[in-house]
Structure formats: C-alpha cells, structure tokens
Structure 1
Amino acid sequence: MTIVSAGDLIGAWRLERWSLVHDDGRPTAFPLGPDARGMIIYTPGGEVSATLMRAAGTPASAAEKATAFSDSFAYAGRYEVRDTAVFHSIEIATDPALVGITSTRYIELDGDRLVLSGPDFTAGTGRTQRIEWRRVTRA
C-alpha cells in the first residue's frame, strides 16, 4: 500500500458505495441500501465531516420522518493520517454511542477514487466496513 498524507485527502468526496463485508462469508450488506448517498469533507485544519443517507425518493410522510434517524448517519470531528490509515476522532454524531471514539480506516487512494476500510464501529461484529468515495470536482 502507498503511504499517503493528509494533503491527499483534503477536499470533498462523494459516496459511491458503503458496504459491510462479513468475515464469515455471508453476503455483503448495505446499511443504507446499495444506492446510498453521502459526502465526506477533510479540511486543511484537520477537521472531518461525514454525512450518509438512504437515496432520496418521494417526499416523506410524517411516519417516514419519524424513522429518518435510521435512514441517515452523520459525524464530525478531527482526523489524522498515519502511513496508510486515517483516524477519525468523533466529536459529534447522530449516534451518541460514537462520540468520543476513534475510528481507524485504511486508505486505498487511486487518483480521484478513495476507499476507506476498517473494523465496524461496534467491536466483535465480525464485519468490515468498506466505504468507496469519488473526489468532488467542480467545473
């Protein structure tokens, strides 16, 4: 794997795919569906912000709005890059259980394509998160 620097990550990245790969060979799961949407932003000052959601459909009913929490996921905090990994120190999150943890994500960077992978947020689940991003470029 190629060693990367924080400068390689700075900017905005659009989600292409978020999957959970099970260690025991069960089929890959997609927490927010196979067509989930999202962005992650890395700043030069060391901040990170990530927001992911189920793909938008028709306008939500009152009942659907009540379940919106399960259809989206967001967190923000600080990040640090070391060798082939990025460490997200989560300061705020839609899931309060994540506040205060540091998430380790291994980096695969190929041009404008970024793959972050690592253990699930919850220890002992026997699955690995694989999050694929594409750098946002504006004309």
Structure 2
Amino acid sequence: MLAHPPPKWLKPLAWVALIWNLCGVIAFALQMLMTPEVISKMPIDQQAAYSNIPVWSTIAFAIAVFGGTLGSALLLAKKSFALPVFTVSLMAILIQQYYNFIVINSVEIMGSSAVFMPLFVVVIAILLLCVSFKGKQQGWLYAN
C-alpha cells in the first residue's frame, strides 16, 4: 500500500521515460552492430573514435541505457528500487560522457552539435533520479 497516492503526472512521465530509455537501448544496439564498412564511410576522425571505443565506455553505455530502462519500468510499477537503479544509470552516463568529452573530445570531432544530445541525456537522467527520490520520500513508491 502506498503512503500517499502518486500525482497524476507520474504514470505518463514513467511511460515517456520508458520509451526514451528504450530509444537508448536501440542506439546501443545500433552502435554494437556497426560494421567496419559502415564505420569506413564516416569522416576519418569519427572513424578513429568509433573504431577505438574502449570496453569500459561500452560497458558504461550498456549500464546507462539498460539501467535507465529498468529504472523507468520500476517507476511505472511504483517501486522504490527505481532510485538506486537510476543512480547507477546516471553514474554510467557520466562515465560514458567522460570518454566522449574528455578522452576523445567529441566536440572537436563532431562540432558543437555533439553537446546537445549528451547534455539532454544527463538532464533527463538527473530529473528521473529526482522524481524517484521525491517519490520514495513522499511515499508514492513502495519497497516490494
């Protein structure tokens, strides 16, 4: 039993978050399925970036998108375990963005347009973390 009924916006938000994170899973799958032929059609600097992605960055990407998807499903089910799952997902996003912005300097490779989507991803992850925190705090989410 929930301590307080959740606000009416929680369920639509959770559905949108789930769809958003499933799009992230698709992006991950597309990156994993990228063939050398596809990579060879990119500009030279992008070829190097895609050909040399370290395993730790790929693992961070996977944890970020699958964690976000699981967290969204848990939020939809009103489970408080969404909070630690979103926390791990956000940490993985930040690790992945460390690779993108510090290690390979994606802005230099792809221009300023490389900033918008990663920034948007981080902002959404923080918002979902805040919603799950508030939901747990307000009793909208429950433990079992």
Q: Greater relative contact order (Cα 8 A, min sep 6): structure 1 or 2?
A: 2
Which TM-score tier does this pair reach, normalised by the shorter chain? under 0.3
TM-score when normalising by structure 1: 0.24
* The structure with more radius of gyration: 2
Calculate the TM-score normalised by the size of structure 2: 0.23
